Amino acid sequence: MPAFAESAAEPPLADSYYALLRRDSKADACAATVRPPAQPPVSECELPMIDVGCLTTGRGTAEERAACVAAIAAAAEEWGFFQVTNHGVGQELLDAMRREQARLFRLPFEAKATAGLLNDSYRWGTPTATSSKQLSWSEAFHVPLAGISGDRCSYGELTTIRDVTQEVANAMSTLANALARVLAESLGHTAAGERFPAGCDERTCFLRLNRYPPCPFSPDAFGLVPHTDSDFLTVLCQDHVGGLQLMKGSRWVAVKPIPNALIVNIGDLFQAWSNNRYKSVEHKVVTNATTERYSVAYFLCPSYDSPIGVCQEPSPYRTFTFGEYRRRVQEDVKKTGKKIGLPNFLM
């Protein structure tokens, strides 16, 4: 691949931001604008830290396993987020993934956007944004697991990324499924041999490789706009730069990066299935003015025709499929610029 200037790798986020700022200015001129109140300073938190080695290795006593499951369920109820150690995803593997991501995202923007890399899964910014506050200052490859080794998944000249990406996906998938099973078990779901969640496999789940470029508009721009995840469970590896924040009570708190730990958060579908016992919590990524940030996220998703189900009746939500949920989210974002999510499906 020919040499290229470093700037040629960057997506045109600044152009989008300036265009949206001009739109913001016109909207402000047409309406009496009330300035939002000043936000309180963001404090840093350490999420609940849980050693899940008894789940990932199969070793440990029944008492140790019960204590681990109880800690996971408590964190899912109180925080909607927690961190795990002894999770079975090797640090050397995650370091290799970080190196491969850096090589991947240094490719020219044109190659990333048009060469069909990783199942043609490249995306940047927020195509539906109608204001600067709806723009995510980031780029990503959002790859279906089945596509990592599929015929359509081109890696160009990046010959080593396929195996690393597949290994990371397999390890995170094993962890996500183990956590989902014990979270369901904690609410009484004990059907022997039954896969949980139903309809989740490599054809339906995704691995997302994220990069957050340095942002000259920081802290006014988001790396990733506030949102909840439209899945059952997300497993995240963030680097040392940090930037992830979540809503705790009515305040944003920053998640302190912890070496060798992975972050797990509950998605909308698990909140619905659990009758709101487990919390799908709003979170965002803030930008950094000088330093790029990388992360890898695994999304545990069912097939589009899978009913989400419920741990027990009655449920506050009507019956819906994942496909119905996704379509409604996309419709709301297109119409209003914002996801509404679960409230649309209340009885």
8 Å CB contact between 289 and 253: no
Using 50, 70 and 90 to split pLDDT, how confident is the model at 30? low
Q: Edge-to-edge strand order for the sheet containing 43-45?
A: 43-45, 251-255, 244-248, 283-286, 222-227
What distances in angstroms separate CA 267 from CA 32, 122, 144, one per listed residue?
A: 37, 23, 18
What distances in angstroms separate CA 132 from CA 91, 194, 242, 339, one per listed residue?
A: 37, 45, 22, 16
Residue from 89, 244, 92 nearest 173 by CA = 89
Q: Return the pLDDT at 336.
A: 86
- pLDDT per residue over 62-121, tens digit each? 999 999 999 999 999 999 999 999 999 999 999 999 999 999 999 999 999 998 888 889
Q: Return the pLDDT at 6.
A: 44
What distances in angstroms separate CA 87 from CA 52, 69, 177, 253, one per listed residue?
A: 6, 14, 12, 24
The residue written with tokens 């899912």 in the block is 76
Give the pairing of strands 81-85 and 222-227: unpaired
- Give the residue, 46 or 106, on which the prediction is more confident: 106
How many other C-beta atoms can be found within 10 angstroms of the C-beta atom of residue 91? Answer: 10
Supply the DSSP symbol for 321: B
DSSP line for 85-126: ES-S--HHHHHHHHHHHHHHHTS-HHHHHHS-HHHH-EEES-
Q: Return the pLDDT at 40.
A: 65
Q: Return the pLDDT at 28.
A: 60
The residue written with tokens 């927690």 in the block is 82
277, burial (CB in 10 Å: exposed 0-12, middle 13-18, buried 19+): middle
- pLDDT per residue over 257-303, tens digit each? 999 999 999 999 999 999 999 999 999 999 999 999 999 999 999 99
Percent of the chain with pLDDT over 70: 91
- Give the residue, 275 or 152, on which the prediction is more confident: 275
Quote the CA–CA distance of 316 and 279 in Å, as a whole number.
14
Supply the DSSP symbol for 131: S
Percent of the chain with pLDDT over 90: 76
Q: What is the mean pLDDT of residues 335-341?
A: 90
pTM score:
0.93
- pLDDT per residue over 183-195, tens digit each? 999 998 875 556 7
The two tokens of residue 208 are 């997302």
Q: What is the mean pLDDT of residues 26-50?
A: 69
